[in-house]
Amino acid sequence: MTAISSARARTCRLSPRPTLDVAVPDDWRATCQQLLDDAHARSPVPGILAATFTSDGILWEGHVGAVTRQYRIGSITKTFTAVAVLQLREARELDLDDPLARHVPDAPYGEATLRDLLSHSSGLTAEPIGPWWERTPGVPWDMLAELNGHPHHALPPRLAYHYSNLGYALLGEVVARQRGTTWYDAVRDKILGPLGLADTTYHPAVGAALGTSRHPRSGALVEEPAFDSVAMAAAGQLWSTLADLARWGTFLVEGRDDVLPGAVLKEMRTAASADPDTQHEGAYGFGLRLLWRAGSTLVGHTGSMPGFLAALFTDAASGVGTAVLTNATTGVAPEELASALVVRAATAARSESTPEVTPSAEPVGGPATGLSGEWYWGNTEMTLRPTSAGFFLHTPNGVRTFAAVTAEEFVGLDGYFAGERLQVVRRSDGSVSHLEVVTFVLTREPYDPTAPIPGGVPQPLVSSPD
């Protein structure tokens, strides 16, 4: 195997993998394993390794063929780069609307904004000028900048999503210069270390998988090269394990205050760009691929480097995710496989671990305790159930969550009322007259005549004479 450059060579040894014994149905385990077996039967790659997980740990892990622990994860690396950039934004060391040149004056495409680079909407060419970077020794930053010094835009900025590996190399240099270190050292110190991702490394650990592919005619298994990407590292350098990817996949939907808050992760997984012809299938946020599913969004990324394919996706609604790793250049559709495993895992988790919770009829202590019970928006019935921090409003379109700002004011946290203020309106005697949120007037009785109903109280229809 072609050795990764010794310029940054380190000896990496994998730490013990934690295990979690979570009871799941045997038939669900068998279904997941069958998906792996079917994928392997369609294309006999050396091996496929997969796991499903929640924030509690790994629910199921399976494999087929010959597998090991650590694999190259390719462009899943971009999710780490994006988090590193957002960390700098949260520290007020940059703004996403800054042009690249403000932070890297010698960079090509200096007019591109960080926001556009993060969302692949800058119009940059997909690959850097020069030899095929994934299969040749990497070049240092100054050479990458020189080779790409005569910018070529594939598309006008912000016209459409256009994936760019070069764009993420440029973002990696932003991280390096703002942190005063290398891109990887910044990621290691600010992300991998705090999250305990000790087995996610720049270079392969001892015993890591060997990258392979099959000759399309003879079927012979051949070895693929693995080089240090150097200036392109931020686009696809990292190696990782199922256990580390499971923790990372949970972080990408939950966040953690000491690394990047959940509210910022929500911003990252909001659609920022899309291909006009395929946007019905998904879009791209900041460093995150978004796949649409009924009732939820899968958040994550795929990865591809010579000899390796990978995928990591987490269901943002349920928190259930899947990671897939294989040491093959072709033959496996990791995004499709991961998506199928997530759907099955989320279904099993809902039925086995997270049954639907019916709110208690007894109000709990909290700021909305006196508001419990039935409310009406006109003739539309709703039910308010207090929580310790606010209340749930059960509507015909789903449950909406509100948090208390004061005893008389609440703010919506999701859905149609997200960010909107709900006011408790009282009568002169202190009793509650109605609730009002963005012109919606909620009353205890349908069209309560004592409340200021927009348009007045409707009158019964009078039958017309025959």
- Could you write out the DSSP letters of every residue in 56-105? TEEEEEEEEES--S-EE-GGGHHHHHHHHHHHHHHTTS--TTSBGGGT-T
Residue 356 has pLDDT above 50, yes or no: no
Residue 359 has pLDDT above 50, yes or no: no
> In sequence order, what are the beta bridge partners of 296?
293
Residue 43 has pLDDT above 90, yes or no: no
Pick the range with the lowest mean pLDDT from 3-12, 277-286, 340-349. 3-12
Parallel, antiparallel, or unpaired: how do β-strands 380-386 and 390-395 relate?
A: antiparallel
How many DSSP H helices and E strands does the chain contain? 11, 19
Residue 463: the pLDDT is 63
Q: Which residues contact 8 (CB under 8 A, 6 or more apart)?
A: 184, 202, 203, 228
Residue 58: the pLDDT is 93
Residue 59 has pLDDT above 70, yes or no: yes
292 CB burial (10 A radius; 0-12, 13-18, 19+): middle
The number of beta carbons lying within 10 Å of the beta carbon of residue 224 is 20
Q: Which residue has the tokens 């020794």?
A: 137
Q: Are 230 and 195 in contact (CB under 8 A)?
A: no
Residue 8: the pLDDT is 37
> Average pLDDT, stretch 21-27?
52
Residue 456 has pLDDT above 90, yes or no: no
> Average pLDDT, stretch 388-394?
92
> Average pLDDT, stretch 143-162?
92
* pTM score: 0.82
Highest mean pLDDT range out of 366-370, 374-378, 397-401?
Answer: 374-378
What H or E segment, with its residue span, contains residue 394? strand 390-395
Residue 30: the pLDDT is 86
Residue 363 has pLDDT above 90, yes or no: no
How confident is the prediction for the chain on average, in pLDDT?
Answer: 89
pLDDT band at 343; cut points 50, 70, 90? confident
The b/e string for 449-465 (b: 16+ C-beta within 10 A; e otherwise) is eebebeeeeeeeeeeee
Residue 91 has pLDDT above 90, yes or no: yes
Residue 364: the pLDDT is 52
Cα–Cα distance for residue pair 434/369, rounded to 1 Å: 15
Q: At what angle do helices 165-179 and 77-90 cross, to 10 degrees?
A: 40
> Average pLDDT, stretch 11-24?
41
> Average pLDDT, stretch 412-440?
93
Residue 213 has pLDDT above 90, yes or no: yes
Residue 216: the pLDDT is 84
pLDDT band at 293; cut points 50, 70, 90? confident
Residue 347 has pLDDT above 90, yes or no: no
330: closest CA among 305, 354, 347? 305
Parallel, antiparallel, or unpaired: how do β-strands 221-223 and 239-240 relate?
A: unpaired
Q: Are 297 and 269 in contact (CB under 8 A)?
A: yes
pLDDT band at 28; cut points 50, 70, 90? confident
Q: At what angle do helices 334-352 and 26-42 cross, to 10 degrees?
A: 170
Residue 360 gets which letter from DSSP? P
Give the CA dihedral 190, 193, 198, 201, nearest 10 degrees.
20
What number of CA atoms fall less than 13 Å from residue 335's CA on the CB side? 15
**Any idea what the Cα angle at residue 224 is, between residues 218 and 228, rounded to 5°?**
170
